[in-house]
Amino acid sequence: MMTIREANENDIPRILQFVRELAIYEKLESEVVATPEQMRLWLFEKKKASVLFCCNDGLEIGFALYFYNFSTWKGCCGLYIEDLYIQKEYRGRGFGKALITEIAQLANKEGCARVEWACLDWNQSSIDFYKSLGACPQEDWSVFRLTGPSLEAFSKS
């Protein structure tokens, strides 16, 4: 039976396991440097993001991490899904859709204007899945990022 539940501090090892599995899937494993202490601080002490687990017969088989953003054009918040991951053997069985549905319902309940996420350009199976939900790619926009040494250098300029 499929269930969705909120993560708690005791789930940090499982969250990090899924983060690593997602990074391996995305061919970016070497970029994962998150520690249990960082996850505890940012997720459960500062409450800057939330994690939902999708479970099959009580076993966590995937997760979604999301947080609030703000649209100045809409004048209200939205939800941003940073990570969405379902273990390979459970894909195609409605678990990912259930997680996105849960987040969409939360967005509607709280009056958010939208739910957004990013997807790697090469990940056609995910792109097809997202389009099947009615999601539209934002083809006129590019994501920019300051991180690591460039962030540090720029912040001191």
**Which residues are the active-site residues?**
130
Distance CA 37, CA 73 (A): 36
DSSP at 43: I
Long-range interactions of 23-32: CB distance < 8 A, separation 24+: 25/85, 25/88, 26/120, 26/123
Tokens describing residue 83: 């990570």
Q: What is the CA radius of gyration of the chain?
A: 16
Do the strands 76-86 and 115-117 form a parallel or antiparallel pair, or are they unpaired?
parallel
